[in-house]
Chains A and B, each alone.
Chain A
Amino acid sequence: MRRKTYLDEINTNIYDIKNKDNYEYKAKKGLSKEIIEEISKQKNEVQWMRDFRLKALEMYNKLELPTWGPSLDELDMSEIATYVRPKGNMTNNWDDVPEDIKSTFDALGIPEAEKRSLAGVGAQYDSEVVYHSMKDELIKQGVIYTDMETALRDYEDIVKEHFMKCVPISDHKFVALHGAVWSGGSFVYVPKGVDVKIPLQSYFRLNSPESGQFEHTLIIVDEGARLHFIEGCSAPKYNKINLHAGCVELFVKKNAYLRYSTIENWSKNMLNLNTKKAIVEENGQIDWVTGSFGSKISMLYPMSILNGKGAKTEFTGISFAGKGQNLDTGFKVVHNAPNTSSVVNSKSISKNGGIATYRSLVQIMPRAKNSKCSVSCESLMLDSLSKSDTIPVNDIRTEEVEFSHEAKIGKISDKTIFYLMSRGLSEEEAKSMIVRGFAYPISKELPVEYAVEMNNLINLELEGSIG
C-alpha cells in the first residue's frame, strides 16, 4: 500500500497565547442603535461620525448576506461584542503598555522588529490601539502615522474627506457593519515627494473571546511619495466564533508608490471578512503582498481601482488552507484609465480537508485604452480530502487591450520528486524544497523576517513516500 507524505498544520503556538479577558469596557453582545451610540459615546466622537455610524447600521440591516462563497451560517451577531477597550491608554513607550499586553507583543516579536527594521509601529489590542510610535526623522519630514481615533481628533478634515469614500458602506453587508462599529486602526499620511525608506507596521491582536475587531486603516500617499506598509494580525483560538471585519482604504496619488504587505494568521475560530481597496491616480502604483494562513473562514479580495493614466498594480498572494479552514481569497482590479497595467500572481496550498478558493475580478473599462493585464494562479493540493477552486471573472470592455489569464491546479509532480531524489536529496527534502519553491515567488516579495516566518509556517512533517 502506498503511503502519502503529509504536511503539518501550521504551528500557531506563538499566536495562541491567551491572556485573561481583562478589559476596561466591553460593549454588550449584539448590534443595536443603543450599542452603536454607546460605542460612539465611549470614544467621545464628533457628531458627524456618530451619525455616520448610525447610517451604516441602517445599511447593514438592509443588505443581505452574500449568496456566494463560504457559508456564514455560524455567524451570530447577537453573540459578538463589537467593542472591547483594553486597560491602559495609548502610549509611545512599550514600558507603559500593561504587562500582559506587552508580553503578548513581545512574544510576537513586535518591539524587537521595531528596533531592527521598522520606521514606525502601531499595535492594536482588541478594539483600541495601545502603542504607536514613529522615528523622529519621519515626523520632521511631515509624515503622520497614528491611530484612527487620534487622526479623527487632530486631522478631522482629512479624515472626513477620505473616510469610507474609497470603500462606501453600500459595498457589502460587512463593510456596513464596519462603518457602524469601527474602532482603532492606523492613519498614515506621507507628504508630497517624501520617500519612507523603511516600512511602517501595524499589528492587530484580538484577545477577547466572542468579540470582533473592526480596525480602520486609512493611508494617503501624496504625489511622488513612497511607502511600504506592513499589516500583521493574529488571535488565540477559542471555541466560539470571533469576527474580523476591518477596512483598509488606500489613496495613492499621482506618481506615488505604496506597497501594502499583510501576513494574516488569525486563529481557526475567526471569520475574517475584511475589505481592502486602493484608488490609484496618474502613474501611481499600488503593490499588494498577501499571505493568508489563519482563520476558519476568510473572504478577502483586495481591490485596486486604477483611476489615473499609467497607474499600475501588482498582486502577489499566497494562501494555505489546512484542516477546517475555508479560505476564499483573491483580487479585484478595475482599469479605469488609459495605459494602466496590472499583474496578478496568486498561489494556494490546500491540505487535510482545507478549502482554498481563488476568486477574482478583472474589469477593463472602455476608457482604459492600451491597458494590460496578466493573471496567473496556481493551486497545489496535497491530498484528496482538500478542495481547491479557481473562480475568476474577466470583463473586457475595450478593444485596445492585452489581457491574459492562466491557472493551473494539481499535485506535486512525481517526476520532480524523482529528479531531485536522483540528485541525492531524500524524498522529504525534495518535497520540502518543492513546496518552498512553490511559495518562493511570494516569500521573496516579503521583508526577510516575514519570509523566514512564512517558511516556518509551512512546516513539513515528512514521512513515507509520495502518494
Chain B
Amino acid sequence: MNMLKLNETPLRTARNFKINNIKLENVEIPKKIEKFDNVNIINDNNNVSIKNIKNDVNIKYGVGEILINQINEKSNVNLEINIMGKNNENIILNFELDSKNKNLIDNINIVAKENSISNVIIKYTSKDDEVFHNGICNVIAEKNSKINITIVNLINDVSNNFYTINNIIKEDASVNYRIIDFGGKNSISNYYSNISDRASNNVDTIYIGDKEKVLDINYIAELYGKASKINMNVEGALNDYAKKNFKGTIDFKSGCAKSIGSETEYCILLSDNVRAKSLPMLLCGEEDVEGEHSAAAGKVDAKQLFYIMSRGFSYNDALKLIIRARFNKVIKKLDEDLKNIIIEEIDRRLK
C-alpha cells in the first residue's frame, strides 16, 4: 500500500517540523465504487432545487489530488443545489454509510443565488462496518446571499473520512459554517474560501479526537475583497492516543484594504499520550488590515473542575460539562434534535 501525502499547507515551513502535509500509511482508497443509496434529502423550500447533476471539481486546494481525482472520476452521489429567495426551512442531507453502502464519494455543489437566505445541514453517519468517505462541498455564494452550512461527521472509529470544502464568496455575501468533526479513524479535512468585497466568512469548528484517531484540519482563507472578513474559531479535545494537526491560514491579498481576519484554536488535552500540533499562519500583503491569531493548549482548568465538583458533580461529569461549555458556541446554534445527538456523542466519547 502506498503512503498517502495529503492536505498540503499553502506555504511550506521546515520539513522537520512535519506539518507541511499529513502522511497516512495503510489507507486503502477503494478503486471500485458501488452505487450509494442511503441518502435522505429533506427540502421543504419552494425556492430550492436539488438535482442529481455532476459538476467537475476544479479547485485551488482540496484534501489531495488523488482524492479530488476520485471524486471527478468515481463520485456516486452528485448533487446540485440551487437556492433562491428566502428559505425558512433547513435543507437537510443525511448520508448513512453501512455494509451495503460502504463507499461514499459525494460531490455536492451549492449555488446560493443573489440575495438568497438559506440553512443547509449535511450529516454523515455510519453503522459499525468499516466504510470510506471522500466528499466535497463546493459553494458559490453570489452577491448579498446568506448561507449557513452545518457539516456533521459522525462516521465510526474504524473508517476513513476525507472532506473538502471550497467556497467562492462574492460581494456582500455571508457564509457561515458550523463543522462538527467527531468521527473517523483518520479525519482529514480541507477548507478554502475566496472572499470578495465586503463579504464575510465565519467558521466555527469543534472536534474530538480519541483512541488512535488522526485529525488533520487545514483551513485556508484568502481575502481578495475590500472590507472582507474571515473568522475561524476551532475548539477541540484530545484523549487517549489521538493526534491532531490544525493548520489555519489567513492570507490578506494585496488590495483587500480594511479587511479583518481572526483565527483562534483551543485544544483541551485529556491524556498524556496525545499530540497536538498547530500552525496558525497569517500571510499579509496588504497594509491596511487587521489580522490576529491565537492558539492555546492545556489540560482542563483545575479550578473550574474543583468548582463544579464542589457542587456535587463527579469528575467525569464535571469534565463533560466543561467541554460542552467550550463547544457551546457551535452546539447552541443547532436544532434541538441535532443538538441532542451531538451532546450524546460528546458524552459517549468522553466516558
Which residues of A pack against B, CB within 8 Å?
Answer: 66-69, 359, 361, 366, 379, 381-384, 386-411, 467
Contacts and interface: CB of A to CB of B under 8 A. Distances in A.
A448 B297 CA distance: 37
Interface of B: 11-15, 17, 19-20, 252, 254-255, 257, 267, 269-299
Nearest to A412: B287
A391 B17 CA distance: 12
16 contacts: A68-B12, A359-B14, A384-B286, A387-B283, A390-B293, A391-B279, A392-B281, A393-B17, A394-B276, A394-B295, A401-B298, A403-B298, A405-B293, A405-B294, A411-B288, A467-B287
B23 to A, nearest CB: 15
A389 B291 CA distance: 11
B203 to A, nearest CB: 18
Contact of A389 (B273, B284, B290, B294): B284
Nearest to B257: A384
Contact of B297 (A382, A389, A394, A410): A394
Given A68-B13, A394-B278, A399-B270, A387 B295 contact: no
Contacts of A400: 272, 299
Given A390-B280, A394-B297, 20 more contacts: A361-B14, A361-B17, A366-B272, A391-B281, A393-B13, A393-B14, A394-B279, A395-B17, A395-B277, A397-B274, A397-B275, A398-B272, A401-B298, A401-B299, A404-B295, A408-B292, A410-B291, A411-B287, A467-B287, A467-B288
B277 A396 contact: yes
B167 to A, nearest CB: 23
A381 B294 contact: no
B287 A381 contact: yes
A399 B254 contact: no
A396 B284 contact: no
A191 to B, nearest CB: 36
A399 B312 CA distance: 25
A399 B275 contact: no
Name the residue among B17, B257, B274, B294 with the largest chain A CB count within 10 angstroms: B17
A411 B284 CA distance: 11
A409 B276 contact: no
Contacts, number: 137
Nearest to B269: A399
Nearest to B238: A399
Contacts of B282: 379, 389-390, 407, 409
Nearest to B19: A393
**Nearest 3 pairs of A and B residues by beta carbon:** A68-B12, A409-B291, A399-B269
A388 B284 contact: yes
A437 to B, nearest CB: 18
Given A68-B14, A392-B280, A399-B271, A404 B287 contact: no
Contacts of B270: 399
A361 B13 CA distance: 10
A404 B290 contact: no
A384 B252 CA distance: 11
A182 B14 CA distance: 24
A398 B294 CA distance: 19
Given A389-B11, A401-B269, A402-B298, A383 B279 contact: no
Contacts of A387: 283-285
A409 B275 contact: no
A386 B280 CA distance: 21
A16 B283 CA distance: 33
A91 to B, nearest CB: 42
A384 B254 contact: yes
Nearest to A389: B283
Nearest to B293: A407
A403 B296 contact: yes
Contact of A409 (B17, B289, B298): B289
A333 B181 CA distance: 31
Contacts of B276: 394-397
